[in-house]
Amino acid sequence: DVTIDEPADERTQNVDRRFSKFATGVESITGINTGYVNLFSNYDGKVEDADVALVGWGSTKGVLLEVLKMLAADGIKATFLQVVYIHPFPEKKVAEFLGKSQLVIDVEGNKTSQLAQIIREKTGIRIDKTINKYDGRNFDPDDVAETVKEMIGTNGKDDKNYTNGNGRNKSEKTGKKDKEINPVEDIEKI
């Protein structure tokens, strides 16, 4: 037999107090490079000027920074939004960035595009295309760059699943000096 001896109004006050702390934490996510999300770009300009916006989280960061360099060498303007923390989700900044982007490609190391689903749930924005790899191996930057270029050519139609062993030859290094990829300090600057 269980007896609850806490008054209902006291319980309600305690729950409200805990949730107000969460709301304060979400409101403190103001800048784009706050540790919750980071924005990288391979050009100087506005987000809406990019040919493509890449979105990723976790272990995709290093690969996508390399992809930005490769795309820059081919004259393709690209941005990369790295989502660092999923909870609390920085929905205002993610929505602000994605709302300005022409073509958004989500790159994830799982089958179901988990981040893309969370973005859709929290912001209402549907990701244009996805690149998924779930064979237990790391992404290859050359292959991802080639897949992104193919996707740019199809104007956001048709998702593409990228998996290891897809028969694509690795592109050869161009010998061009890599453009330095740095975090964008303020979303208003882009």
DSSP string, 113-166: -HHHHHHHHHH-PPPSEEEE--SSSPPPHHHHHHHHHHHHHTTT-S-----TT-
Which pLDDT does position 163 carry in this prediction?
A: 45
Instruction: Give 124's contacts (C-beta < 8 A, 6+ positions apart).
Output: 95
pLDDT at 8 over 50: yes
pLDDT tens column, 20-73 = 776 655 555 444 455 689 999 999 988 899 999 999 999 999 999 999 999 999
Distances (CA, A) of 163 to 118, 130, 143, 144, 147: 22, 12, 10, 10, 11
Q: Any idea how long the chain is?
A: 190
pLDDT higher than 90, residue 166 = no
State in words which class domain 37-189 has.
Answer: alpha beta
pLDDT value at residue 189: 43
Tokens matching residue 178: 């890599």
Count of C-beta atoms within a 10 Å radius of residue 73: 17
- For the cut 80, the answer to whether the pLDDT of residue 172 exceeds it is no
Per-residue confidence band for 16, with pLDDT thresholds at 50, 70 and 90: confident
Q: What is the pLDDT of residues 82-139, one digit of tens each?
A: 999 888 889 988 999 999 999 999 999 999 999 999 999 999 999 999 999 999 999 9
Q: How many CA atoms lie within 13 A of 73 on its CB side?
A: 19
The percentage of residues in the chain with a pLDDT greater than 70, rounded to a whole number, is 73
Higher pLDDT, 79 or 185: 79
User: Whole-number mean pLDDT of the chain?
Assistant: 80
